[in-house]
Structure 1
């Protein structure tokens, strides 16, 4: 059962107090490598662990894009009113990047030793339900009292009477529950935004049955199963083994893609403290898994008309959800066809570089088909290309943002070497390099896929596209050269020990290459969309 949700990838780190600096560095690696989630376990009674809430605040301060969460917060030692305020504050400080993993508690001897109350399994679930109501009430999101300015929950374990609600988080914080038993699955289906099992307690073979029970419980609760994101804490080792997450990055990608397509699992959180494993997960596994899932969803959409979503209309590809803008209400033609609703991204011609490595006025172009209409499954193909391009444009924006941060840091602390060291400017160099290298690999992989698969298919389907495809392939080679220039600029920047004239020159060269990459990539993506959206709708991806 695939619900068509965007795939998320993240890290499940250990909050060891003796190595908090390493954990913060790991979070930066995950952030600049493009991962979506950074989570840490929460065992307040563990003498070797740092406080999870404080650690997550430090992580949020050191990162810019990655979402942060406890995995999962220990409810018996985290009073729900205080937990709600802590998460809302973290969300405000991080500009909407906090989520809440929540559990009933375990290791009751340790909890009791730390001053918590021992609970039976039934009492622990009852307390969790009450706590969720309290937390959502503090956030001003109690579904039973919408718009309420105070919180009142009369519970056996948590009673709150007339507490003023607030502060509200910056976004609608999601609550993810770790659940395995029937009652907890029912609680998850009724109250949670996400289901967060761990591989150690539910192996991949168990997920289909557990997910089906969650679906059934959601329907009985009056909720669509697609409203509940399925996350999964996973553990593995890169190598040549045949087991789950024991092989190559490609093996990992295929196994995770299969879980997405068969069980609806759409977020994978890797338990590791290794920066190298985090990079490989972000740079090799995640893009390949997304590509495999995207191709299969497009194939399913073309075959079944379901938008790549099994068993319903929850997907974003191929159904009405892919129709954007004013075309959402366009009357369909016979057979359910309608004008192409997927629009090429506008290109206003603004350029940052003095000149480009190609002319833009001599690009081959084919006329747009007049009165062309396409079914929803056909429109899923250009929609998929647009989603990939939008991801590339978003990543490019992050690259430029990182470059700007390096420049701003240099200008503010360039007069004093000691201040530079406290600002960790060498770390900025390193994280900038890690991010750009990850981004360059993603772009190159996307273009290679186009050249070897999609373009070959389109050449056979429509020979008239030959000149356009030739030009697009030529531009791929040019962009590859620009990416090489970015790499060379990064090497030069990393080789500068100080920030004198040579360092400034290296930064200027990096800025030049980033500007050139921006101009060539955005120009190319816009051209590709203008020329290929209709052919992709007509002939598909493969």
Structure 2
């Protein structure tokens, strides 16, 4: 069964506004919600952004069914021992609804600005692998294992598409996520990820039943046209067909990123697109 997550960057909205959108997703056929992880807003550092793990904990407390995660947590931001403890705690307090999404860090300038070093991309991937080994150790039976241990496995998602990242996906991940900017690469990358399940991040300009199509498409393309094929615009029937095509290429989960994340759009999308997709599946 295909899973549907709301990708909800915690930028430019208050905590209560973000919580409202997550709660709307929970009652509108979405399976989960995911946040991003930055210390300043990418390409807009003056725009406020909330801390990723704290917000995830808050939203977990305000929801009952929705799974909670990130696309993706930045490995350099957290010592592995601290991350291991945070993940177990959030998994337990949420009733097993937390999924650990990790990446090696995509913005070197941000890492340098806030004192996380100047490691190369290759060095950051090496460091991420060490974190993955450490997590396994802290959650296992090693002499320095932490208690409490996870009462059930915490799903691990890795994001990235380089050869070294895909090797980590094959060796460690339950899920692999392809960013919206590389949707066209999906068919060629799926055979390289081993047994990991496939998720896709997709920016959507959703044309609701009472919306003006030209207005929605124009606004979405002005803001997010640089995503290329990572942006898709359409009405419910068109989007059902589109996501069906990605599913046929191997996608098993969609992280839907709305160009206009109004609660009304989230609710209508859940009813018409997700509901329609499942009715046809």
**Counterpart position of 2:32:** 37
**Counterpart position of 1:213:** 192
**Counterpart position of 1:252:** 239
Is 1:172 matched up with 2:153? yes
Structure with the bigger RCO (C-alpha within 8 Å, sep 6+) is 2
The structure carrying a bigger strand percent of its residues is: 2
In 2, the alpha carbon distance for the partners of 1:169 and 1:250 equals 42
In 2, the alpha carbon distance for the partners of 1:249 and 1:23 equals 24
In 2, the alpha carbon distance for the partners of 1:166 and 1:254 equals 47
Shift of 1:18: 5.0
Is 1:56 matched up with 2:56? yes
**Counterpart position of 2:202:** 234
Shift of 1:236: 1.2
In 2, the alpha carbon distance for the partners of 1:285 and 1:51 equals 31
**Counterpart position of 1:197:** 178
State the structure with more CA Rg. Answer: 1
Contact (CA 8 Å) 1:195, 1:230: kept in 2 or not?
Answer: yes
Shift of 1:210: 1.2
1:44/1:166 CA distance change after superposition, 3 Å: farther
Contact (CA 8 Å) 1:24, 1:62: kept in 2 or not?
Answer: yes
Aligned pair partner of 1:268 in 228, 242, 254:
254
In 2, the alpha carbon distance for the partners of 1:275 and 1:232 equals 22
Is 1:289 matched up with 2:277? yes
RMSD across aligned positions (CA) = 1.9
In 2, the alpha carbon distance for the partners of 1:136 and 1:58 equals 26
**Counterpart position of 1:363:** none
Contact (CA 8 Å) 1:249, 1:280: kept in 2 or not?
Answer: no
Q: Within 5 Å, give how 1:76-95 maps onto structure 2.
A: 76-95=76-95
Shift of 1:128: 0.8
TM-score, structure 2 normalization: 0.85
In 1, the alpha carbon distance for the partners of 2:101 and 2:79 equals 14
Long gaps (5+) in structure 1: 1-5, 141-147, 151-162, 219-224, 295-542
Q: Within 5 Å, give how 1:125-164 maps onto structure 2.
A: 125-140=125-140, 148-150=141-143, 163-164=144-145
The structure carrying a bigger helix percent of its residues is: 1
**Counterpart position of 1:484:** none
1:199/1:18 CA distance change after superposition, 3 Å: closer
In 1, the alpha carbon distance for the partners of 2:279 and 2:151 equals 31
Long gaps (5+) in structure 2: 208-212, 218-228
Shift of 1:73: 0.3
In 2, the alpha carbon distance for the partners of 1:69 and 1:170 equals 18
Shift of 1:19: 1.3
TM-score, structure 1 normalization: 0.45
In 2, the alpha carbon distance for the partners of 1:286 and 1:129 equals 35
In 2, the alpha carbon distance for the partners of 1:37 and 1:18 equals 19
**Counterpart position of 1:487:** none
In 2, the alpha carbon distance for the partners of 1:136 and 1:279 equals 38
